[in-house]
Amino acid sequence: MPTVTPDLVTIPEPEEWVREHQILAGFAHTLGVVKKLLSDADIHHADGISYTPEGDLIVGETARNLLRSTYGDDRWRYIENYLTS
């Protein structure tokens, strides 16, 4: 009976793995903070974050202003680029 051997799994370099997971963890943290900020500010649906029927993201002006004031211009641009990509 032939022996079945598993395919070799590529193990990433440690620095690459840590960098990727730091980015993902930072992203998860940022999204959690954004969610909390919007709920704490009692931002209404029209002024918050919603989607069009086609699935495009809409970030209302009130939500934009809250995020911009919380994160500053540089960090806001990073978040805005993520949300609109």
Tokens of 4: 């079945």
Q: What is the mean pLDDT of residues 14-42?
A: 79
pLDDT digits (tens, 9 = 90+) for 36-74: 776 776 665 556 677 778 877 777 888 788 878 888 888
Q: Where are the beta strands (DSSP E) in the chain?
A: 49-51, 57-59
Pairing of strands 49-51, 57-59: antiparallel
The CA distance from 16 to 67, in Å, is 30
Share of residues in the chain with pLDDT > 90 (%): 0
Share of residues in the chain with pLDDT > 70 (%): 76
Q: What is the mean pLDDT of residues 13-37?
A: 81
Q: Which helix (H) or strand (E) holds 54?
A: none
CB atoms within 10 A of CB 66: 19
